Amino acid sequence: MQTLTYAMYVLGGLLFLGSVIAHLCARVWLRPRDPDLDDLYHEFEDEHPEYARYCRWLKLTMASATLGLLMTFAAVAL
């Protein structure tokens, strides 16, 4: 049981740190640089391929960071 707790603690921490780093990289490098994107209505922003990729990466990294925190919390609570 202690080995499982330790493994969850380490894996959850690594997943969280990796996700935070990937999230920051996505915010810096994947953000669309098109100035016309700000002029588009919000209904059409999802159809822009660069913006859709940017949003997909943000959602993926936020979800994996949440999973990492839950794993770490479960390891501490057990």
Tokens of 48: 């822009």
pLDDT at res. 51:
81
Task: Band the pLDDT of 36: cuts 50, 70, 90.
Answer: low
The mean pLDDT value for 37-50 works out to 66
Task: Band the pLDDT of 67: cuts 50, 70, 90.
Answer: very high
- pLDDT at residue 18 is higher than 90: yes
CB 1 within 8 A of CB 61: no
Task: Band the pLDDT of 52: cuts 50, 70, 90.
Answer: confident
pLDDT at res. 66:
97
For the chain, domain boundaries: 2-77
